[in-house]
């Protein structure tokens, strides 16, 4: 079995693949500093909770946008799983061509999203990840990553509201009954959710105009992606495990023998 790890700014999302099928997934918060022993114990316990023995993990791959946790995370895999993981980084074989002036500046998570979307759903494809940031990345029919857009994520926007406006409370992010809020909480929810829907539809439309294509698939992932994808016809597919699937496909391209 292969352990795939997506280390993001908010959560570390892990998936276990067995013969190309994802058989378990779980999350760990990123914000808390942890030692390699803590990561090792957490990973071992969560695997066992999913009825997977740590000894069943034959190899691992990490896709990270959080450099300061990498030493502890790699140490945990070495000490508790006896694995030297593959790292998704510049120069690794991915199957897509980064056709931008500075390929090294493209985040590993965005590369994984692009690989997953292109290989599973085909191109041209616009992959949208509703994470800490909301990212939009375009891959053409031939598998070239041509560019993208980065916007504040819904949670970042919400946090800015309740931290910078004294009378606005911390709220649950969900779609309200209607766009016209009847109180402070529903008006905030309306602005956050419908504002994100409007942004999404506008960017999708402008991308199609700029590249001159109408047949672009739009594939969405990320924790809040389901809320947005359910509210607009501009999105074709919601795949909550797209990043992990992309990381796994990058792993397979390395042709590394598992123990």
Terminal CA-to-CA distance of the chain, rounded, Å? Answer: 10
In this structure, the strands spanning 133-139 and 144-152 are antiparallel
CA dist 43 and 101 (Å) reads 38
| Angle (nearest 5°) at CA 198 between 193 and 245 | 75
CA-wise closest residue to 64 among 4, 120, 142: 4
Contact 62, 88 (CB under 8 A): yes
CA dist 151 and 166 (Å) reads 24
Any catalytic annotation for residue 109? yes
143: alpha, beta or left? (left if phi > 0; alpha if psi -120 to 50): left
DSSP string, 75-86: HHHHHHH----E
Q: Which two tokens stand for residue 218?
A: 């739009």
CA-wise closest residue to 46 among 57, 54, 36: 54
Catalytic residue among 6, 109, 137, 140: 109
Q: In the sheet where 11-18 sits, what is the strand order?
A: 21-29, 11-18, 2-7, 59-64, 86-87
Burial class, 102, CB count within 10 angstroms (exposed 0-12 / middle 13-18 / buried 19+)? exposed
Residues annotated as catalytic are: 109
């Amino acid at each position: 079995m292969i352990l795939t790890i997506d280390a993001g700014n908010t959560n570390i999302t892990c998936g276990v693949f067995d013969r190309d099928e994802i058989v378990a997934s779980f999350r760990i918060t990123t914000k808390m500093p942890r030692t390699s022993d803590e990561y090792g114990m957490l990973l071992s316990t969560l695997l066992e909770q999913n009825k997977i023995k740590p000894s069943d993990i034959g190899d691992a791959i990490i896709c990270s946008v959080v450099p300061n946790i990498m030493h502890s995370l790699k140490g945990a895999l070495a000490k508790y799983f006896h694995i030297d993981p593959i790292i998704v980084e510049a120069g690794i074989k991915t199957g897509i061509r980064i056709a931008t002036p500075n390929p090294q500046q493209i985040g590993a998570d965005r590369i994984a999203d692009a690989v997953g979307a292109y290989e599973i759903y085909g191109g041209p494809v616009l992959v949208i990840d509703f994470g800490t940031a909301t990212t939009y990345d375009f891959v053409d029919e031939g598998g070239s990553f041509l560019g993208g857009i980065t916007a504040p994520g819904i949670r970042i926007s919400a946090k800015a509201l309740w931290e910078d406006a004294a009378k606005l409370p911390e709220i649950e992010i969900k779609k309200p009954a209607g766009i016209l809020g009847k109180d402070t909480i529903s008006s905030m929810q309306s602005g956050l959710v419908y504002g994100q829907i409007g942004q999404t539809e506008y960017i999708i439309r402008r991308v199609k105009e700029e590249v001159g294509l109408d047949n672009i698939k739009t594939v969405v992932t990320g924790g809040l992606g389901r809320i947005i994808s359910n509210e607009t016809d501009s999105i074709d597919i919601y795949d909550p495990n797209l990043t992990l699937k992309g990381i796994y496909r990058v792993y397979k391209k390395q042709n590394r023998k598992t123990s």
